[in-house]
Amino acid sequence: MKLDYNRIDPELREGATEELALRVDRAGLNALREALAAAPSAVAEPPVITRRHEVEAEGGKTTVFLYRKSDRPDQPCLLWFHGGGYILGDADDNRAKQLAFDLDITVVSVDYRLAPEHPFPAGLEDAWNTLLWLHGEGDRLGINPDCLAIGGTSAGAGLAAGLALKVRDAQGPRLKLQLLLYPMIDNLHATESGQIDNHPVWNQATSFAAWEMYLGGEPGEAASCYAAAARADDLSRLPPAHICVGTEDLFYDEDVDYARRLNAAGVPCELAVFPGLYHAGDVFHPQAGVSQRLMASVKLALSQALGVAGN
């Protein structure tokens, strides 16, 4: 199946071609990482306070960046995971900084270990250890440990969804919200949108290659629900969720179905669908109307869940 590029929002259409899709394989992964790291940001960085911390756990150290607008005490906190298909990216994340600045909250961005060097469950372990550290050290960090949310984009949102399941099963800290921006949660892509093979940025072939590296083998039904949240049989007793996805995203159908299943399981889930938005199209065109509406929905969901007034 093919995507009709005329369905893409007109403000996002420039440069949105099949050639925009990332080409992912083990041999070229390091070169791709270097190229993405060198690419200029599409937006200016907000003036946030940045502090680096090392979270020590049995498996080693995890670097995290703490972003905040001010040093007022007892701040609500968002534990944030960057995107990149579980194989790309780092915690120096501009969206994390923007949310910290706009909402005057603390955002802790996790430099979790990436596949294929560190396949699942390494990244999840980093996420879990950081959450426990935040909850235990909240007072020292100026954070309200009883006002925590988790979230991320793409693979980072998938990591947040898996973490929410682990927190429930391990009876971890109470979470106010799981904020999932076009989450990468389904390693099978057995949906109508998942069968389209020419999406810009993140297409089917790219996604299957990333899943193979993250899971350390071929995708399949046996994947852990902590790695691919869509594999979970039971979605009850999870924290409230806010899910954003575009209609022209490879993940569209699986994300919509996950929201449906959360609501059916009694978990309040707000689903925000953006017509004409392809995967990460808001990153390439942050000033487009659809991108602004996505960010407005994200900030509103966070501000209501954490009890803050955003800009």
Catalytic residue numbers, as ranges? 154, 249, 279
CA distance 165 to 223: 14
246: left (phi over 0), alpha (psi -120 to 50) or beta: beta
* Whole-Å CA distances, 156 to 1, 32, 40, 85, 290: 27, 19, 21, 8, 21
The answer to whether 241 and 255 have CB atoms below 8 angstroms apart is: no
- CA-CA-CA-CA dihedral for 148, 152, 157, 163, to nearest 10: -30
CA distance 32 to 36: 6
* Whole-Å CA distances, 177 to 57, 111, 238, 251: 25, 21, 9, 21
Report phi then psi at 120, rounded to 5. Answer: -50, 135
Chain centroid to CA 290: 18
* CB neighbour list of residue 50: distance below 8 Å, 6 or more residues apart: 65, 66, 67, 97
The answer to whether 41 and 62 have CB atoms below 8 angstroms apart is: no
CA distance 131 to 167: 9
40 upstream amide cis, omega within 30 of 0:
no
CA distance 130 to 301: 23
